[in-house]
Amino acid sequence: MALTFYWYPNCGTCKKAKKWFDDNQIEYHAIHIVEETPTKEELLSLIKKSELPAKKFFNTSGKKYRELNIKEKIKDASTEEMAEILSSDGMLIKRPIVTDGNKVTVGFKEEMFTENWL
Helix (H/G/I), strand (E/B), else coil: 97: strand
pLDDT in tens, 36-87: 999 999 999 999 999 999 999 999 999 999 999 999 999 999 999 999 999 9
Helix H or strand E encompassing 22: helix 12-23
Q: What's the domain range around 87? A: 3-117
Sign of CA dihedral 50, 52, 55, 61: negative
For residue 99, give the CATH number of its domain: 3.40.30.10
Q: Strand pairing partners for 58?
A: 93
How far is it between the farthest Cα atoms of the chain? 42
> Which residues in 78-108 are b (16+ Cβ under 10 Å) and which e?
eeeebbebbbebbbbbbbbbbbeeeebbbbb
Which residue type is seen at 89?
A: D
- Look at the chain and report how many structural domains it folds into: 1
**Res. 1: pLDDT tops 90:** no
Higher-confidence residue of 1 and 108: namely 108
